[in-house]
Amino acid sequence: MSQEAELRAKIVRMGSLLYNRQLAHGSAGNLSVRLDDGSILVTPTNSCLGFLEPERISKLTPAGELLSGDPPSKEYFFHMAVYEERPAAKAIVHLHSTYSVAASCLCHAHTGNALPPLTAYHVMRVGKLPLIGYYRPGDKALADAVRAASREHRAMLLANHGPIVSGSSLEEAVYAYEELEETAKLYFIIGDRKASPLTAEAIADIDRAFPS
């Protein structure tokens, strides 16, 4: 099977997994992967991630022109911005999952990191999670904000919207997204109780042991 056929099938499988795990609902969210030749496969706009069809997935040139498939996600431009800034990124997951979106609707004192480092896996898979200001879905101005944050971060949180997570494969991006959602859930379960996040020393130790 060609790389493109494999990746189309993988997008369908992962979309279904995320939908069945209730991390995606309705037609919210979008997934993309970058092929070895630089072209991008991205889920079509208004598609339900639970019922994707491989041949209808949009294929774009590295410059964002539609080569085949249905019209792409209205947010394809921020996928392109992340790929341009992160050469090692091969996949991107953007969803509107409940706990992460709830976190994105809070007033944050520290916009450099919207969630505390509660667990080692959050630090390993997600890292710091900057909060990006609110933009209307599909607003091209969002690309510049996403581009700037993606220079240093593999994950970010769009205010009143949801996370964007990149990875070196679709599995890696999905697993990191799931970790982020679990941390957001823990954050709300802990609520007003005094949490004990990982110390700076513990985080440095994790970064040394598992460099990203």
Least distance in Å: CB of 43 to ligand 13P?
Answer: 6
Looking up tokens 């799931």 gives 178
Q: Which is nearer to ligand 13P, 45 or 98 (CB)?
A: 45
Q: Is 75 in the site for ligand 13P (CB under 6 A)?
A: yes
Least distance in Å: CB of 202 to ligand 13P?
Answer: 34
Would you name the residues annotated as active-site residues? 75, 121
Looking up tokens 């209307």 gives 136
CA 211 vs. chain centroid, Å, equals 20
C-alpha angle with apex 26: 102 to 107, nearest 5 degrees? 15
The number of residues in the chain equals 212
Identified binder of ligand 13P from the candidate list 38, 112, 133, 137, rule CB under 6 A: 137
Q: Give the C-alpha separation, 127 to 17, whole Å.
A: 24
Identified binder of ligand 13P from the candidate list 30, 32, 97, 166, rule CB under 6 A: 30
Choices 10-18, 69-77, 143-151, 186-194 (CB under 6 A): range interacting with ligand 13P: 69-77
Choices 4-12, 70-78, 139-147, 198-206 (CB under 6 A): range interacting with ligand 13P: 70-78
Phi, psi of 30 (to 5 degrees): -155, 150
Q: Is 48 in the site for ligand 13P (CB under 6 A)?
A: no
| Closest to 133 in 3D by CA, of 144, 124, 122 | 144
Q: Is 45 in the site for ligand 13P (CB under 6 A)?
A: yes
Total residues at interface with ligand 13P (CB under 6 A):
12
Q: Check residue 44 and report its DSSP letter.
A: B
Q: Is 73 in the site for ligand 13P (CB under 6 A)?
A: yes
Q: Give the C-alpha separation, 97 to 19, whole Å.
A: 10
Per the structure block, which two tokens stand in for 144? Answer: 């510049």
Nearest residue to the partner ligand 13P, using Cβ:
73
Residue 88 CB partners (closer than 8 Å, separation 6+)? 168
Looking up tokens 């009143």 gives 160
Least distance in Å: CB of 28 to ligand 13P?
Answer: 5
Choices 27-35, 61-69, 105-113, 202-210 (CB under 6 A): range interacting with ligand 13P: 27-35
Q: Which is nearer to ligand 13P, 160 or 212 (CB)?
A: 160
